[in-house]
Amino acid sequence: MSVPKSSPASGSAPTSASSSASSNKLRLGALVALVVGSMVGGGIFSLPQNMAVSADVGAILIGWAITAVGMLTLAFVFQTLANRKPELDGGVYAYAKAGFGDYMGFGSAWGYWISAWLGNVGYFVLLFSTAGYFFPAFGQGNTPVAIVCSSVLLWSVHFLVLRGIKEAAFINLITTIAKMVPLFLFVVLCLFAFRYETFSADFWGLHNPKLGSVANQVRSMMLVTVWVFIGIEGASIFSARAEHRADVGRATVIGFIGVLLLLVAVNVLSLGVMTQPALAGLQNPSMAGVLERVVGPWGAILISVGLVISLAGALLSWVLLCAEIIFSAARDHTMPGFLHKENAKKVPANALWLTNGMIQLFLVITLFSKGTYLSLIYLATSMILLPYFWSAAYALLLAVRGETYEPASPQRRKDMVVAAIAVIYAVWLIYAGGLKYVLLSALLYAPGVLLFAKAKREVEQPVFTHVEKGIFAAVVIGAVIAAFGLYKGFLAL
């Protein structure tokens, strides 16, 4: 990170350079807003339908309980790592590299990056699908008019971010506050409209054989719960830009708890307004349909406006995160050096251009692809599961080794238990996603080796260790199977 850090000298005033550096740092409020703004995007507005399509009340409550424990342990993992390894800037990428080598570090950065911009493609589709409620020319968000408008918005955000990270983070703070208003109003109105007889009508989904067993319902809904929490690591990605390092961990936990309460409230209260089959049949953003049932047409309009504000803020957050993760990886030569270039405003310009170029390409592809918004978010979610796993595994490794801990420290035992639960949760998520998304992820992971090899050649190092050769071979095999499956039609988005 080339942003200069202030170095106060005893008995002397800070220099203008150090003052400038300090003024460019992110405070706790901005870091919390990055976490909340990243998590609260389009997912929450489609949550009632996305959950109801695969599970009923009982399974949904079990799923949220698992998610609350699992994601809370991940939040504590990021908090612990931020405090115990303050020299590791870049979050999920840096933790994987420090614990398990260069290729795992590269894979985490690459997977996280792809997940982030794929999610942004999904956001654009949902945004203009919502606009289609008022302007039919936008259709389901993938008509030519929608793609043109998406492209204009994309490059507007791009040039806004180029003006400076702190300025973009401030705008993100404003949009985060603004989008909370319709969400809180939704919760209050649905609280008064909640009916226990509706909530408990078919608690375990026994009257709907399409849902399957309770265990199957819980498994089917898990990727949706992960999707709405992606961004929990947002503060750790920007750890190098934090004014106070301790604020990184605080922002992660504060943001997580606030968003968890909001998500559960939206989901559970919706189930008391409409039954599971009715929710499953809603068009997204399904919160609009729920509030329309409660207060009439103006409720749908309110949610649609809230979604537009929310997606605008989330797009800004994720454009920042996309560029920052590969910029951080380029800083220590895990990504090629050209991605480490910053402009005069200290913005990772080349990383930003590459990111938004990929988003633009996939926006054009949506004109011809049959992939849905839900398919895009499932794939984006599957790409981020390995980075989460490696972060949790690194925290567990530190605790097992006792690295950074005092001998016989009770905190070490506590952190070991928390990290172990986070690892188990990450493995469960990979299983819950299913083989299909593991193979599709391999197909997206494999091409990244070209950038990894280029970075290694720049520092005149061998591309792989012996262990990494075996890991890469497994990735290639998965990618070949996925490509064959897509070609033959037994695998599809």
**Integer Cα distance of 46 and 211 in angstroms:** 19
Residue found under tokens 């939206």: 266
Distance CA 49, CA 290 (A): 10
For 26, the 3-state DSSP assignment is: strand
The answer to whether residue 478 sits within a structural domain is no
Who contacts 462 (Cβ-Cβ below 8 Å, separation ≥6)? 456
pTM for the model stands at 0.81
Q: Which residues fall within 8 angstroms of residue 275, CB to CB, at 6 or more apart?
A: 198, 201, 202
Q: Identify whether 446 is part of a domain.
A: no
Integer Cα distance of 205 and 202 in angstroms: 5
Category of 139 on φ-ψ map: left (φ > 0), alpha (ψ -120 to 50) or beta: left
Would you say residue 420 lies in a domain?
yes
Strand-pair partners of 26 = 242
The answer to whether residue 20 sits within a structural domain is no
Given this model, what pLDDT does residue 408 score? 78
Residue 437 lies in a domain: no
In a domain, 461, yes or no: no
59 close to 217: Cβ distance less than 8 angstroms:
yes
Give the integer Cα–Cα distance in Å for 283 and 303: 13
The stretches of 203-296 forming alpha helices (DSSP H) are 214-229, 234-237, 246-271, 276-280, 286-295
As a whole number of angstroms, the distance between CA 310 and CA 65 comes to 26
Specify the number of domains making up the chain.
1
CATH of the domain at 70: 1.20.1740.10
In a domain, 476, yes or no: no
Give the angle 70-73-79 at the CA atoms, nearest 5°: 145
Q: State how far the Cα of 347 lies from the Cα of 339, in Å rounded to an integer.
A: 11
- C-alpha distance from residue 30 to each of 36, 91, 175, 251 (Å): 10, 17, 12, 9
Q: What is the pLDDT of residue 373?
A: 64
Of 14, 67, 117, 98, residue with least CA distance to 361:
117
Best CA proximity match to 264, nearest among 419, 62, 457, 463 = 62
State the 10-residue block means of pLDDT for the chain, 493 residues long. Answer: 33 42 67 74 84 92 92 86 80 85 91 86 84 82 88 88 66 71 92 94 87 88 80 64 74 85 94 94 88 92 83 73 82 88 83 91 79 70 87 94 86 93 92 85 92 93 92 94 88 72
Please check whether residue 488 lies inside any domain of the structure. no
| Structural domain boundaries enclosing 387 | 25-431
Angle between helices 435-445 and 466-488 (to 10 degrees): 110
Q: DSSP secondary structure string, 447-487? A: GGHHHHHHHHHHTT--S--HHHHHHHHHHHHHHHHHHHHHH
